[in-house]
Amino acid sequence: MIIAIDGPAASGKGTLSRLVAEHFRLAWLDTGSLYRAVGLKMLRNGDDPADREAAEKAAKSLNPNELTNSELKTEVVGLAASKVAAIPEVRQALVGFQRSFAQTPPGGAQGAVLDGRDIGTVVCPDADFKVYVTASPEARAHRRFLELRDKGDTVTEQEVLAMTRERDARDTNRGESPLKTAEDAYLLDTTNLSIDAAFAALKVYISGSSN
Ligand code: CDP
């Protein structure tokens, strides 16, 4: 079973994907971590994240132990990720890993949950279930601000909102695999939903029951 969960930054898709994976005992891949890891590598090397050749090289040399660094979660790395993610060669270098994770999930799991921007449209167009999680930019920026503040980050809510809007615009308008709702996706707007309520709705969509 393959479940594709797409949506813009801080829509709740990461938390929901983790909960869905735990509940249905599936492997989970946060595909944003791949683009973030490439972005972080570029920043560390002093490269411009929009440099196509350097970004392709960084994507091709990515290894799994680079996907767990706590620095990946910062907004600065998120912005760099959205720049490398607009480069077709980077996406091509990363799609194989994502598809083989979906087809042959690690740990003998019977399926996988992948969350990102293009999972239901490009990476796994034949996924059994497709979800598009969204929320207003203000609600998403507020959530991300609280998350970052808890981690000791001093970024302001206004700055987070500006970076969220910049990332949304780049992710939606890029030529290669832009962020968009798959035609057959279940649309979940979490602006006024708690995580518990959103998770309950997803369980009903996937299994017909909220238990
Ligand atoms: O956690 P958040 O929603 O803020 O971002 P993320 O899922 O970690 O993704 C970081 C960036 O990677 C996004 O802004 C996208 O530009 C890019 N990305 C992508 O292009 N395709 C994916 N499947 C996943 C992420």
* 184-201: pLDDT as tens digits: 999 999 999 999 999 999
Q: How confident is the model at residue 149, as a pLDDT? A: 94
Give the rounded percent of residues in the chain with a pLDDT score beyond 70. Answer: 100
Map tokens 């962020």 to a residue: 179
The residue-averaged pLDDT of 125-130 equals 98
Look up residue 86 and give its DSSP letter.
T
The pTM for the full model equals: 0.95
pLDDT at 57 over 90: yes
Sheet holding 27-30, edge to edge: 27-30, 112-116, 2-6, 129-134, 186-189
pLDDT at 211 over 90: no
* 95-118: pLDDT as tens digits: 999 999 999 999 999 999 999 999
Tokens encoding 175: 């030529």
pLDDT at 209 over 90: no
Distance 182 CA to ligand 1 centre (A): 16
Query: Among 27-31, 40-44, 98-102, 205-209, where is mean pLDDT lowest?
Result: 205-209
Minimum-distance ligand 1 atom for the alpha carbon of 33: 8
Which pLDDT band, with edges at 50, 70 and 90, does 204 fall under? Answer: very high
The residue-averaged pLDDT of 24-34 equals 98
Lining ligand 1 with CB less than 6 A are 9-10, 14, 31-32, 35-36, 78, 81-82, 85, 116-118, 167, 171
The residue-averaged pLDDT of 29-54 equals 97
CATH topology for the 2-200 domain: Rossmann fold (3.40.50)
One-character DSSP codes across 113-147:
EEEESSIIIII-TT-SEEEEEE--HHHHHHHHHHH
